[in-house]
Amino acid sequence: MDLTKWTVLSLLDNKFLRNLKMAVIFGNMGSEVIMVTTDDDVYAMGCNSSGCLGLGDTTSALQPRKIESLCKKKIKGLAYGSGLHLLAFSDSGELYTWGYNTYSQLGNGNTNHTLSPSLVGGVLAGKTVIQVGCGNHHCLALTNEGEVFAWGQNNGGQCGSGTTTGQSVPRRVTSGIGGHKVVAIACGQLTSMALLDDGDLYGWGYNGNGELGIGNNNNQHNPVRVSNLNKVFVTQIVCGFAHCLALTDQGEIYAWGANSYGQLGTGYKTHHLSPVIVNSELGKAVEIAACHLSHISAAMFHDGKIFMWGHCRGHSIFSPSLTPYTHLDEVFACYSTPAVTWRTLQFRARQDTPLAETLRLAFNDENTGDLCFKVAGNSIWVHKAILRIRCQYYRAMFQHNTWAEADQETVEIEQFSYPVYYCFLKYLYTDEVDLPVDEALGLLDLANAYCETELKSRCQHLIRQSVNTENVAVLFATGLKYEAQDLEEYCLRFAVHHLTAVVQTETFSKLEEATMKHFISRVARMGAFRY
């Protein structure tokens, strides 16, 4: 998946992104991220509301900062709440929490916000946590023994304790599911769900929109079995803000709860108090997705196609709509409001070299190159096939025998300097322009001669960085010579504000008469002599 589709990750360089093992993106704007690298280091970046980044302070971070207390702890999974509280569990099953804590959602027995991750003890001491979930201000933890523990806000009964009293520390949920093994958990904003190993599904908490799927809208303070699913075997459960999706072993999708945005995929916006099947004509589904912070739903089907429905970037989509994506996570990166992850992103390290890196390494490689350019005594090795694909000038050179260079293994270049030609050839391999500003005019000359429109535009942008009162006149003349309109306009705008100094420079006095008249006429039309 292209990780730069997540806005907060687009700030990071490719080297850092390639070293990621997992990440979770959260926050009311999707502007916070916790990342774990293949080196088992944990980093945070973003706005840091309520100290949710776990850095020991509330300072925002535009670049990754280490969460020292989690590094080398072999973090295996993460979850986040709406109040910007975070949970992380390790490979050994230890649970850490930090961030907002007004409702004791950190499970530490108090309501003090915590700026750094702290280990949750109590009844979880000695337990092995294998999954965590967060709602608005409550949390669930699942152990390897199939036990469910809950804590935090409990105004709708979402802690499953039989009351609505808040729970300041983890407490095992026993009613209804105590004698069974739970294999998966999920949280809506104010609801909790548990999937048993026999395929049965239980829910508890707030039920004003029918999000528990029990046929009514009464809150439940203890787990109750979801109705209408008696004859199916559920294999996956996910929760949205106020709706739920369930996937069966037959690839059927059931949905229930709020439907104002079409998040149930029924084709209309009526809420459903009991599970209803989502369009069966799409075939067998293999995975479903929803997030407690949004009203969007998504599913991948057996043919690899991904559909989405619900609240998609301000639009209400009432029936499953085909997307161009190959990962469910991309739906949430591009269409969820906010753009947050519905699960912990997991990355598999590539065993091969990415195409872009392969091309970069191939540039100026004497062992694989089949053509050598000689520039001022320096050799630059390239591949004719790459040049033919990337450049019209070289395409014509190698496809027509009338060019003397067509069959040569070494081509002498005298028109351009070595730095300029090296930069140009590297650009064909990498799309990068890496050249000192004082060489940019030479590259612009080459781009113009070789009809490289995009490179010409990049050169103009580079040259603009060097514009001053001493050279603006000659750079304007250069723009005219090469029909570089962006450079022309920039030089004129600069000159309008510094005209007195510009017209007194030697470079201005040496302009050709026609160019000077054109320059004066243009700046006059832009208001240089208004006062």
β-pair partners for 34: 24, 44
Burial class (CB in 10 A: 0-12, 13-18, 19+), 253: buried
Radius of gyration for the alpha carbons in the chain, expressed in angstroms and rounded: 31
Q: Are 119 and 70 in contact (CB under 8 A)?
A: no
Q: What is the 8-class DSSP label of residue 253? A: E
Q: In the structure encoding, which two tokens stand for residue 430, read together?
A: 């990498």
- What does pTM read for this prediction? 0.78
Which among 443, 381, 435, 382 is positioned nearest to 415, based on CA atoms? 443
Side chain identity at 65, as an amino acid letter? R
Residue 83: per-residue pLDDT: 81
Check if the beta carbon of residue 271 is closer than 8 Å to that of residue 257.
yes
Each of the 531 residues of the chain gets a pLDDT tens digit; together they read: 788 899 999 889 888 998 999 999 999 999 999 999 999 999 999 999 889 999 999 999 999 999 999 999 999 999 999 989 999 999 999 999 999 999 999 999 999 999 999 999 999 999 999 999 999 999 999 999 999 999 999 999 999 999 999 999 999 999 999 889 999 999 999 999 999 999 999 999 999 999 999 999 999 999 999 988 988 999 999 999 999 999 999 999 999 999 999 999 999 999 999 999 998 889 999 999 999 999 999 999 999 999 999 999 999 999 999 999 999 999 999 999 999 999 999 987 666 778 888 999 999 999 999 999 999 999 999 999 999 999 999 998 887 666 777 778 899 999 999 999 999 999 999 999 989 888 999 999 999 999 999 999 999 999 998 999 999 999 999 999 999 999 999 999 999 999 999 999 999 999 999 999 999 999 999 888 875
The pLDDT score that the predictor gives to residue 431 is 94
409 CB contacts (<8 Å, ≥6 apart)? 370, 371, 372
Residue type, 311: H
Which pair of tokens denotes residue 185?
């958990």
Q: What is the pLDDT of residue 405?
A: 72
DSSP per residue, 429-455: HHS-----GGGHHHHHHHHHHTT-HHH
Are the C-beta atoms of 294 and 313 separated by less than 8 Å?
Answer: no
Q: Can you read off the two tokens belonging to residue 297? A: 């739903």
In degrees rounded to 5, what are phi and psi of residue 389?
Answer: -70, -40
Helix, strand or coil, per DSSP, at residue 148: strand
Secondary structure class of 169 (helix, strand, coil)? strand
By CB atoms closer than 10 A (0-12, 13-18, 19+), residue 308 is: buried
Q: Is-cis flag, bond preceding 117, omega within 30? A: no
Per-residue pLDDT, 349: 67
Distance CA(148)–CA(123), nearest Å, equals: 11
Structure tokens at 274: 């009991």
Does residue 77 contact residue 68 with C-beta atoms inside 8 Å?
no
Q: Which residues does 21 contact at the CB level (< 8 Å), separation at least 6?
A: 36, 37, 38, 40, 346, 347, 349
- Beta strand pairing call for 148-152 and 167-172: antiparallel
**β-pair partners for 141:** 132, 149
Residue 35: exposed, middle, or buried by beta-carbon count in 10 A (0-12, 13-18, 19+)? buried
Contact 196, 237 (CB under 8 A): no
